[in-house]
Each structure stands twice: as C-alpha cells, then as structure tokens.
Amino acid sequence: MTHAEEVAQGDRFKFGANWRQFLALLNDERIAEAEQSLRRMLEVDDLNGKTFLDIGSGSGLFSLAARRLGAKVHSLDFDPDSVGCTEELRRRYFPGDVRSGSDWIVEKGSALDTEYIRGLGRFDVVYSWGVLHHTGNMWLGLGNAELAVGPGGRLFVAIYNDVGSKTARWLWVKQTYNALPEFLRPLFAAVVSVPQECKILARALFNLRPGDYLRTWTDYSRGQRGMSKWRDIVDWVGGLPYEVATPDQIFDFYRARGFKLTKLRCGNVGIGCNEFVFIRES
C-alpha cells in the first residue's frame, strides 16, 4: 500500500506531520546536540570525507547534523512530509546543495525496497535511528540497511526494546491513538504520558528540586539528541507500525552478517530504543 492508504486505514502514524511541527522549534542548540550525539556514538570528531545514508530521515535533523560534520549525505524517507521536512532543512542551511544536488540528496524511498537500497551503493555510515521498527517488516529493513554499508563502514541503528507484556500494552496504546479522530489524539497522548510524568515529578519533589522536573521540558534537547519532548511523546504514543527486539537479537542478527559491535546503549531504556553501532568486518 501507499503511505496515504496505510494512514487512511489507521495502520500508519503520520510521522512527517509531527516532525513538521518540530521544525518551528529547531535552533542552533538543538542542532549542536544532534551533532554531539553522532560524534559520541560513532566515536569521531567529524565526518569529513565520509558518505552518510540516513534511512528514514524524519525531521531531517540528523541528516543536517551529518552534513554539518562534513559528510556527503543521502536522505530518504517513506513519508512525503518527512521528505519535505528534510528538504526544508537542506534549503535553510545548505542552499548550495539544493542547486548542486550532489552533496546532500533528499528523496522518497522505502527501507523495505531491497533493490532500491542496493542501488544506492555503499556508504561509510548508514544511520537509521528509531525507524526500521516502524516499517511493518523490521527484519527485512534491518537486512536491507546492512546492504548499504561499505567495507569497514559503520551501521548505527536504534530499535525499540522488547519488554514482554508491556510491549503488548504499548501496541494497544498506539492502535487506539491511530483509531481516534485527529482532534482527540493530542489529548490521548497527554493522558498516556501522565503516569510517567508523575513519576518524574515525584522524584524531583522528593529530592526537593522541583526545577528538575521543569527542566525536563525546558531543557529537554540537552542530552536528548536535540529533540522536542512533546513531539517525542506524540511519536511514541502514535508510532505505528510497531515492532521490537531484544539487544541479543539485534547483536546476533548482525554478527551473523559479518559485523562487529563497537558501541551499545541499552541500559534503563524501558520501552524506548536500544542503540547499536556496528562496523563491517567482512
């Protein structure tokens, strides 16, 4: 089915429409946080002379961060609005790339289209953060992503953590959100977030530091990849399709394909994303 057909049937969240709202909040501080996230996980100072494939570019923030770090970037997304977001950031920050069409390519494409991904060639860095579990066929997407990694290249993926029965409940939340009329969805997202927000608030009050809670909203981008707390909540509550994996499953999947794990973040993520950086050894 097309993107529009999946949305109409309630099987797909409009990720791009959510990230269009985020672009109004984007500033230099958030971009710097995104750059630092790439530096930290890829263990590099910059990406000068490197090629970077962003599978599921979303808001376009990390394509922009990679470009600012010196990479030659290729961005793709299945969601037309996400493609539009990425194009907008390219227009704002690298207008010369719009004209040349070579150092930052932005296009509509599917992570599930094996021949399309294979046809893109090989890259020094393939990046897909929180995307492949939203494709409807996560394992095919994970397999396709490795096709684009060049010899000695790095693959940086983030995948929702499998937490058993809580995962099943979260799937119900997402399905309910997408079945609601659009005008009720923000209210539903807010209600769903209340238990977690109450825990954070209670911890801050117990420590006699109520300002800590306020800073989870006002300073959310710090250490959070430059993102927006509310847009992240909406994304998490509404994000369909939805699949999960344990860290061991992801590790075994890529080890069998000649990759070595170089960086891992999987502690205390709950229903969030485990992050992996692999390098192709063979």
pLDDT category of residue 133 using cuts at 50, 70 and 90: very high
For the segment 214-236, the average pLDDT, to the nearest whole number, is 79
* Pairwise CA distance, residues 214 & 216, whole Å: 5
User: Given this model, what pLDDT does residue 129 score?
Assistant: 96
Let me know: does 112 contact 242? Beta carbons within 8 Å: no
The share of the chain scoring above pLDDT 90, in percent, equals 70
The residues facing 161 across adjacent strands are 245
pLDDT at 150 over 80: yes
| 172 Cβ neighbours under 8 A, 6+ residues apart | none
3 state SS for 2-41: CHHHHHHCCCCCCHHHHHHHHHHHCCHHHHHHHHHHHHHH
pLDDT at 271: 83
Question: Taking 70 as the threshold, does the pLDDT of residue 282 lie above it?
Answer: no
How sure is the predictor about 204, in pLDDT bands with cuts at 50, 70 and 90?
confident
For residue 118, pLDDT over 80 is answered with: yes
If you average pLDDT over residues 27-37, what whole number do you get?
93
Q: What is the pTM of this model?
A: 0.91
Cα 75 from Cα 196, distance rounded (Å):
33
Report which of 166, 179, 160 is spatially closest to residue 269, judged by C-alpha positions: 160
Instruction: Name, of 120-124, 160-164, 233-237, the range with top average pLDDT.
Output: 120-124
Give strand ranges (E) for the chain.
51-55, 72-77, 104-108, 123-129, 149-160, 259-265, 273-280
Share of the chain above pLDDT 70, in %: 98
Which three-class secondary structure state does DSSP give residue 137?
coil
Output the pLDDT for position 222. Answer: 64
Q: What digits encode the pLDDT tens for the residues 37-57?
A: 999 999 999 999 999 999 999
Specify the range with the lowest mean pLDDT, choosing from 11-15, 74-78, 137-141: 11-15
* Model pLDDT, residue 124: 98
Backbone angles phi, psi at 197, to 5 degrees: -65, -35
Task: Please state which of the ranges 21-25, 80-84, 175-179, 260-264 shows the lowest mean pLDDT.
Answer: 21-25
pLDDT of residue 94: 96
121 in Cβ contact with 149 (< 8 Å): no
Q: How confident is the model at residue 255 (pLDDT cuts 50, 70, 90)?
A: very high
* Identity of the amino acid at 94: F
> Which residues have C-beta within 8 Å of that of residue 169, sequence separation ≥ 6?
none
Q: What is the pLDDT of residue 231?
A: 87
**Residue 140 pLDDT more than 70?**
yes
CATH class of 3-162+244-280: alpha beta
DSSP secondary-structure letter at 207?
T
Q: How far, rounded to the nearest angstrom, does the alpha carbon of residue 156 sit from its chain's CA centroid?
A: 11
> Do 70 and 50 contact (CB within 8 A), yes or no?
yes
Q: Decide: residue 148, CB within 10 A, 0-12 exposed, 13-18 middle, 19+ buried.
A: buried
Question: Where, residue-wise, is CATH 3.40.50.150 in the chain?
Answer: 3-162+244-280
Question: Is 55 in contact with 111 (CB distance < 8 Å)?
Answer: yes
Per the model's pLDDT, the better-predicted residue between 166 and 77 turns out to be 77
Q: According to the model, what pLDDT value does residue 220 have?
A: 66
Least confident of 49-53, 203-207, 227-231, 248-252: 227-231
Structural contact between residues 109 and 89, judged by C-beta atoms closer than 8 angstroms? no
Going by pLDDT thresholds of 50, 70 and 90, the confidence category of residue 223 is low
DSSP bridge pairs for 126: 53, 155
- Quote the pLDDT of residue 101: 73
